[in-house]
Amino acid sequence: MKLRWIASALLLLSSSLVAQTIHNSPDAALTLPTPDEVIALPADTLAKFEADVLGGARTPQIRLRQLVEFMFNEDGLGLEYDNQRTRTVSEAIADRKANCLSFTLTFMELARLAGFRTRMMESEQALVWFLQDRTLFLAGHVSAQVRLGRHRFEANFDPNAPLLRRNQQTVSDDRAMAHFYNNRAAELMAEQYIEPARAHFDIALKLDPTMVSTLNNQGVLYMREGDYETADRIYQHALMLEPENLSVLTNLINLRRAQNRLAEAGELEQQLQQTQRKNPLHHFIVGVHAEQQGDYAVALTHFQDASRLERREPMFVLAQERVQRALGNDKQADRLKRRADRLVESARRSVRNSGRRLSRG
């Protein structure tokens, strides 16, 4: 298994998706859709949705099930997962392809047509197992939440389903739209469409001036252009909003090195290390890497640190069980297995009491 942590890159882009090589056409790169155009549903899709979903659904439960089927079935939208670029709703429907963000925007529009209350959910940090090249990522993630009576359902579309998520919350429609422009801007920047990328970043920040992932990406753009003063100002503002953002801290360290301000870079590195020590997902990733290298003692230390920081996460306990068995400590491993089982059962009861999850992978 290859492991790659997001903080190892030279300049770190923040995104709602796990970044791959992006292939945008020149026409797409020059297009700056309005927010209404981003979520517009084609007329033929509306007509089919009304006939297939709204027309024959006698109860909200049936309507919700038919909505999910409409998203994936061949005689509906037939959406397949594709992380090559972020599409508008109409582009996703035309291509029959979507990443988690495009899927979420499409699902939300159809769910609202079906009479459901729905909001985007975002996770600032998600531990993602990326199937294509067997890589473990720390990244952002979005999904849709639907309310049905007392229950809340999550519609999650990603074959690389997050293993763990932190700081998950529902967000406003403006912030949901800002995710679109931020993603598109990062993709455009990767393809060297600098001015269209800049325009997308500007709209994202007008929609949500507090979106640190956009500020971080915008700082990368200015740093690549050699405008260190503007990049510095943007990173400082981002850290005012989120003092412990790992990507922003790492990028600011790189900026200080480029400015030959090495003493300040060293101070920021100490701040980054302190922040990492408080992050259970960081410890888990480092622990998995050590485990794969056969360094079980180091792995156990990091898994224990992760579990200490987030005591109710069974994955951290099961990781300790694995390395204890590898070290020959079966009694400790058995005790950890029982503890993990109790945590899993507790989590299942919580899910049964609060709602359900609709996933497609």
pLDDT tens for 277-334 read: 998 888 988 898 898 889 999 999 999 999 999 898 888 999 999 999 999 999 999 9
Q: What pLDDT, on the 0 to 100 scale, is given for residue 1?
A: 31
What pLDDT, on a 0 to 100 scale, did the predictor assign at position 213?
A: 92
Per the listing, tokens 């899993």 go with 344
Q: What pLDDT sits at residue 312?
A: 87
Q: Which residue has the tokens 């027309």?
A: 55
CA distance 275 to 270: 9
What one-letter code names the amino acid at 238? A
**In terms of Cα–Cα distance, which of 271, 263, 200 is closest to 235?**
271
Q: Which pLDDT belongs to residue 134? A: 55
Pick the CATH number of 280-360 from 1.25.40.10, 3.40.640.10, 3.40.50.12780, 3.40.50.1370: 1.25.40.10
Any idea which residue has 């900026």 for tokens? 255
- Tokens 């003493």 correspond to 263
Please give the pLDDT value at position 166.
Answer: 67
Q: pTM of the full predicted structure?
A: 0.84
Taking Cα atoms as reference points, which of 221, 241, 218, 222 lies closest to residue 230?
222
Cα–Cα distance, 39 to 35 (Å, whole number): 7
In three-state form (DSSP H/G/I as H, E/B as E, the rest C), the secondary structure along the chain is: CCCCCHHHCCCCCCCCCCCCCCCCCHHHHCCCCCHHHHHCCCHHHHHHHHHHHHCCCCCHHHHHHHHHHHHHCCCCCCCEECCCCCCCHHHHHHHCEECHHHHHHHHHHHHHHCCCEEEEEEEEEEEEEECCCCEEEEEEEEEEEEEECCEEEEEEECCCCEEEEEEEEEECHHHHHHHHHHHHHHHHHHCCCHHHHHHHHHHHHHHCCCCHHHHHHHHHHHHHCCCHHHHHHHHHHHHHHCCCCHHHHHHHHHHHHHCCCHHHHHHHHHHHHHHHHCCHHHHHHHHHHHHHCCCHHHHHHHHHHHHHHCCCCHHHHHHHHHHHHHCCCHHHHHHHHHHHHHHHHHHHHHHHHHEEEEEEC
User: What's the confidence (pLDDT) of residue 7?
Assistant: 32
Q: Which residues of the chain are in CATH 3.10.620 domains?
A: 6-178
Q: What is the pLDDT of residue 314?
A: 86
**Angle, vertex CA 17, rays to CA 288 and CA 219, nearest 5:** 100
How many Å apart are CA 232 and CA 244, to the nearest integer? 16
User: What is the C-alpha separation between 143 and 105, in angstroms, rounded?
Assistant: 9
Q: Which CATH number applies to 223-278?
A: 1.25.40
- CATH code of 6-178, in short, is 3.10.620
Q: What's the distance, CA 224 to chain centroid?
A: 24
Among 245, 83, 108, smallest CA distance to 167 is for 245
The pLDDT tens digits for 74-106 are: 999 999 988 888 999 999 999 999 998 999 999
Low-confidence stretches of the chain (pLDDT beneath 70): 1-30, 125-139, 158-166, 347-361
For residue 14, the model assigns a pLDDT of: 63
Looking at the chain, which residues constitute the CATH 1.25.40.10 domain(s)?
280-360
